[in-house]
Structure 1
Amino acid sequence: MEHYLLIGPTDLTATLAPDKEHQWHYAAPGEVAALLAKLAPKPKLTPKAAASQPAAKPKTKPQPPLRSFMGAYFAACPTDADLCALYRFVDSYRVTCAPSVLADATSSLAQAYFKGKVVRPLSLTEWPAIVNWLQTRLFDHQGGGKIDPSMFEVAPGYRGSLEFNGFLAVELSGDFGSDFQPVGTYRWGAYIDPHKLLKIWPEYSHSAGVELRMVVYEAPPGNAYDFSKRLVFDEAQMVDQVPIHDTLAAGNLCVTFEAKGQGWLSLGNVHFRWSRYEMGEFLPGGGRIVDHDRREVNYYFSPADLKPPLNVYFSGYRMAEGFEAYYMMRSFGAPFLLFADPRIEGTGFYLGSPEFEAQIKDRILQCLKALGFNRHQLNMSGISAGTFGAMYYGSQLGAHSIIVGKPLANLGDVAQREQSVRYGTFPTSLDVINLHTPRAVQKAGRKAMVKALNARFWETFDQTDLDTTALMLTYMRQDDYDDKTYHDLLVHLAQTGKHPYVIGRGLDGHHNDGATETATWLKKQFWTVMERDFDRRKR
């Protein structure tokens, strides 16, 4: 059940038809605290006192206490007391209002609330339209996945060359004809979730003499062979993600590519995501960074209480697309920025073209500027694959602290150990080394590739200024991905004369061991930094 809130002079929620998936609540200005006392009552007994009370059998199944509202609409301006009571029950980007409410929010508390929650005015005036707008954009959870190139099945009539390049891409080359002809299809389709708009982002590139278009077929529920719809999208329409409107709930979308001309064509992952329309990627307020090769990374920025520091977290390996650690970062109460890398099978380790990497740094700097912070009020963090982004960009930006668990800096070694130490455990590492090493280096052989990719981190790291940065790392002593990062870090710091504050903690086990201990340690270090350096107390 998703809960929504209306604050205004009139209760319009009674006009809504019964809905098992959405529940609307109403409060007049000045009555929000009373409403929340009913929806999320505080426990009156301590655990010890509650245990001594006889358990009464309830006549009806009690409703679980409210955790949060998925969205809120202010038809009238709430009081300052309302905003204080509501603060922890609704997240940033999930509050909308009538345009006139902005002029009424004059108190300093209201202005800070509206800025921190990124309150959005709606020009809609009809109540059913407002309800539909919120429920189709501000729903719970995040949804996204991909179909990788291993699922590509070449068209029977194709006569050119074909090469599968891991989970990176399938490479085709030859004469595709003077008219558009199918070159292949992805064997698995995407399920159409009820009440969700799907959008598609295909990864592709081709030579100048080739033209490409994407054909999407809709299969009704339970029938994979009788297509009910055929949609064609040219490259001009694929500049951005392609929304697929008016679909059949519980059906499937299947993707085929057609090409014409002569040259080469590279087809990568085909991404399917829930659309929030104009409200962002994965979460309300989420965004995308895309370079000229259609390589992307996703980000989410929450201004929270607008007070230092800005905490940044890089998501680790994720086959399901979206952000991780949202609730952990939100629990600190400070502004935070999340990154997620959906490339290859689950991550591209946040490396890319100069344009790609510059956009990630610019996004962090833009968030600092919007908050009025400087680099000494910046904390960078991540676990496993996310540690590379945290250390790589955190060192370049001279962050206040870099807090990481299971650090991976030697990505060349991670790929090499797929053959020598942990065969078949993390094959994505082989795609990563292919993606991030130039053709000339690849022709020089495996050892040259490993050395070049390792140097990609250390050559950048050695040129940074870390004298005012705290480095906090917990690592696995028998790490079967990269067991040298912590040692190499100390060596490079000594060789380059850097003197940061370093905390290191070793745990016994391989890379995928000690998940709970690592997460607990990372949160503890965060609170240590927050309390010691930014005068924030754990709530």
Structure 2
Amino acid sequence: MVKKFKVLQIGSTDNLQTDETIWRYVSEEEVLEEQEEMQFQLEKEGPYDFIYVKVPYSNKLMKLLEVLSEPYTTYVDQRYWDKAFRTHDLTRKYCMLCFEYQNEDERLEKLKAVTFPGQYGDKVQLIHCKLTRYFDGTVHYEGNEALMISGDFGDNMAPFLSWKQHLGYDKDKVIQVWPEYTVSDEVEIMFVYRLAPTNESHTVKETFVRKQDELITPLEIPRQPHDAHILISMYAKGKGTIRVGAVHKRWSRLDLGQFILGGKRYADSNRDEFIYYFNPGDMQPPLNVYFSGYRSAEGFEGFYMMKKLNAPFMLIGDPRLEGGAFYLGSEEYEQAIKQVIEEKLEALGFQRNELILSGLSMGSFGALYYGAQLNPAAIVVGKPLINLGTIAENMALVRPEDFGTSLDVLYKNEKGLTSASIQQLNDKFWQQFSQADWSHTTFAISYMAHDDYDKHAFEMMLPILSRQQARVMQRGVPGRHNDDTPTITSWFVNFYHMILESQYGRGRKDAE
């Protein structure tokens, strides 16, 4: 049975019940006059995924919200969002926000658009691109990451590229679309998206045109009452080079979050993205940062696992390539990852010794690579992958036809697939890791004893950590990289609790 999205509306009744939602309406009088009885009943029915407040500030209301709210679940209608709400301690603790709109129709439409269960995102890869007209220039693929097209695109804006595979539009959702591309200065491009209902695939109902200066932000296609195909075309003019990547599609929550309420995204000048989510928890140390593993379905991973720690946490995800590009990118991109972590540390008033970085598989690289630059109190990883060049090299004989994305990661970062490129990508990690000060960092590492992706990862790290007298907790599990994930995850969680209890006095019972 699909989980329904539970909404509590305090104030007027909007009658917005759908097949995906359960709406509970409470009047201002009930809140003010039936406090204990009301609180007991609402707690019993909850927890709520979304709390919409359409009544003025009052002490009784805030006492109720203190019991019912969780981070990013409570939104106060703009008519009532005053200084009393903005400055209340609960607003910071539960990340309460103003629910903004231009008019009554937009208010109702926005409520419908953001109240749905789950998260979803996927992409159309560049392998499905095709030229739509004769082109006098050069065209070649850079693996599965980019299609490079150089030459003369003409003096007038005209279509030159289309996608044989369509994005899917899901009815009753606002759909966000984000294309990956870069262009040289002399080239101008434009994207055109056509919406064709699935039961009328030859009929275009709506067309969305995004000129180059409008492509800085994602397109958001308003809610439609039917499923549809999103047909993609790219137009261009001028002389130069266009580099085209995947086109991403996500369920949007408008200005309330990316994928989930409170989620955010970052894109650098190359349109490379990462997503992140911050939950203040109980606002007591430490801040626990989790880097997502390889994930072909776009969205956040590890939410409930980290939430059970009952401490502040961050989720970071990499939606590039087929399932992630190991959190490596331009200097601008990598600096932004460090910056969002440091900003949350500062917002909480924490120091570096109140930070734990963590991740599984691909996420372990993010935790270790950025850990070398942030000097956290601890790093918790499972199935560590660090020699990314070697992982790509192993595809030839150790894992034939398995994990081709490793070649894309190699080419994306080193612009080659040679032995020198392999070593340079490996060195990118070791230059950071070997120069870091690990003398005050605790490592908790669970690894596969016969890992066929990066067999020597643990044994290569250990001498460096031993020389610096870092504290290392380890657990080897028999098997290859993708064998026995449940045991690795169990040790990952166990190590987390051991560190939280020994260094921060957080017992497992308190966390759960």
CA contact (8 A) 2:5 2:115 kept: no
Which one of the candidate residues 127, 135, 140 is aligned to 1:150? Answer: 127
Residue 16 of structure 2 corresponds to residue 7 of structure 1: no
Which residue identity lines up with residue 509 of structure 1 in the other structure? G
Distance 2:104 2:204 in 1: 37
Distance 1:241 1:126 in 2: 23
Aligned to 1:337: 314
Q: Please state how far the C-alpha of 1:132 moved relative to its aligned partner.
A: 4.3
Q: Please state how far the C-alpha of 1:275 moved relative to its aligned partner.
A: 1.8
Aligned to 2:248: 271
Which one of the candidate residues 166, 172, 175 is aligned to 2:149? Answer: 172
CA contact (8 A) 2:20 2:117 kept: no
Cα distance change, pair 162–126 in 1 and its aligned pair in 2 (3 A) = closer
Which one of the candidate residues 466, 474, 484 is aligned to 2:438? Answer: 466
Q: Map Cα deviations across residues 10-67 of structure 1 (whole Å, 9 max, x no partner).
A: xx33x626543332223433657645654665xxxxxxxxxxxxxxxxxxxxxxx645
Which residue identity lines up with residue 152 of structure 1 in the other structure? C
Q: Please state how far the C-alpha of 1:231 moved relative to its aligned partner.
A: 2.7
SS of 1:183's equivalent in the other structure is strand
Which one of the candidate residues 325, 350, 358 is aligned to 1:348? Answer: 325
Q: Map Cα deviations across residues 235-263 of structure 1 (whole Å, 9 max, x no partner).
A: 10101112223645201111111111122
Aligned to 1:57: none
Alignment of 1:61-80 (within 5 A): 66-73=46-53, 75-76=55-56, 77=58, 78-79=60-61
Which residue identity lines up with residue 374 of structure 1 in the other structure? Q
Aligned to 1:519: 489
Residue 92 of structure 2 corresponds to residue 92 of structure 1: no
Distance 2:238 2:259 in 1: 36
Q: Please state how far the C-alpha of 1:138 moved relative to its aligned partner.
A: 4.3
- Choose 519-528 or 16-25, whichever is displaced more: 16-25
Residue 2 of structure 2 corresponds to residue 20 of structure 1: no
Aligned to 1:29: 31
Aligned to 1:225: 202
SS of 2:501's equivalent in the other structure is helix
- Choose 466-475 or 113-122, whichever is displaced more: 113-122
Cα distance change, pair 508–472 in 1 and its aligned pair in 2 (3 A) = same
Unaligned runs of 5+ in 2: none
Q: Please state how far the C-alpha of 1:189 moved relative to its aligned partner.
A: 1.4
CA contact (8 A) 1:405 1:522 kept: yes
Cα distance change, pair 343–297 in 1 and its aligned pair in 2 (3 A) = same
Which residue identity lines up with residue 31 of structure 2 in the other structure? P
Alignment of 1:21-60 (within 5 A): 21-27=20-26, 28-29=30-31, 31=34, 34-35=37-38, 37-38=40-41, 41=44
Which residue identity lines up with residue 336 of structure 1 in the other structure? F
Aligned to 1:393: 370
Distance 1:35 1:472 in 2: 46
Alignment of 1:139-538 (within 5 A): 139-245=116-222, 247=224, 249-437=226-414, 439=415, 442=416, 446-494=418-466, 497-537=467-507, 538=509
Distance 1:36 1:411 in 2: 53
Cα distance change, pair 230–418 in 1 and its aligned pair in 2 (3 A) = same
Q: Please state how far the C-alpha of 1:435 moved relative to its aligned partner.
A: 0.5
Q: Please state how far the C-alpha of 1:286 moved relative to its aligned partner.
A: 1.4
Distance 1:349 1:161 in 2: 30
Q: Please state how far the C-alpha of 1:79 moved relative to its aligned partner.
A: 4.8
Cα distance change, pair 529–207 in 1 and its aligned pair in 2 (3 A) = same
Q: Please state how far the C-alpha of 1:118 moved relative to its aligned partner.
A: 0.9
Q: Please state how far the C-alpha of 1:68 moved relative to its aligned partner.
A: 3.4
Cα distance change, pair 33–170 in 1 and its aligned pair in 2 (3 A) = farther
Q: Map Cα deviations across residues 193-224 of structure 1 (whole Å, 9 max, x no partner).
A: 12211121111112222211111111122233
Distance 2:76 2:339 in 1: 31
Aligned residue pairs total: 499
Q: Please state how far the C-alpha of 1:102 moved relative to its aligned partner.
A: 5.3
Q: Please state how far the C-alpha of 1:482 moved relative to its aligned partner.
A: 0.3
Distance 2:8 2:355 in 1: 34
Distance 2:8 2:37 in 1: 13
CA contact (8 A) 1:5 1:26 kept: yes
CA contact (8 A) 1:314 1:381 kept: yes
SS of 1:419's equivalent in the other structure is coil
Q: Map Cα deviations across residues 105-144 of structure 1 (whole Å, 9 max, x no partner).
A: 69xxx94422121111346699886554333224321121
Distance 1:126 1:212 in 2: 34
Aligned to 1:119: 96
Q: Please state how far the C-alpha of 1:280 moved relative to its aligned partner.
A: 2.2
Q: Map Cα deviations across residues 390-442 of structure 1 (whole Å, 9 max, x no partner).
A: 011122111011000000010011101111201112000000000011x4xx3
Which residue identity lines up with residue 82 of structure 1 in the other structure? L
Q: Please state how far the C-alpha of 1:74 moved relative to its aligned partner.
A: 5.5
Distance 2:113 2:36 in 1: 27
Cα distance change, pair 17–313 in 1 and its aligned pair in 2 (3 A) = closer
Unaligned runs of 5+ in 1: 42-64
Distance 1:259 1:115 in 2: 46
CA contact (8 A) 2:31 2:38 kept: no
CA contact (8 A) 1:75 1:101 kept: no
CA contact (8 A) 1:40 1:66 kept: yes
Cα distance change, pair 18–386 in 1 and its aligned pair in 2 (3 A) = closer
CA contact (8 A) 2:475 2:491 kept: no
Distance 2:275 2:212 in 1: 22
Q: Map Cα deviations across residues 275-314 of structure 1 (whole Å, 9 max, x no partner).
A: 2221121112211222111111111111122111111000
Identity, in percent, stands at 33
Distance 1:228 1:100 in 2: 39
CA contact (8 A) 2:197 2:229 kept: yes
Cα distance change, pair 418–71 in 1 and its aligned pair in 2 (3 A) = farther
SS of 1:29's equivalent in the other structure is helix
Aligned alpha-carbon RMSD (Å): 2.4
SS of 1:236's equivalent in the other structure is helix
CA contact (8 A) 2:21 2:116 kept: no
SS of 1:26's equivalent in the other structure is strand
Distance 2:430 2:67 in 1: 48
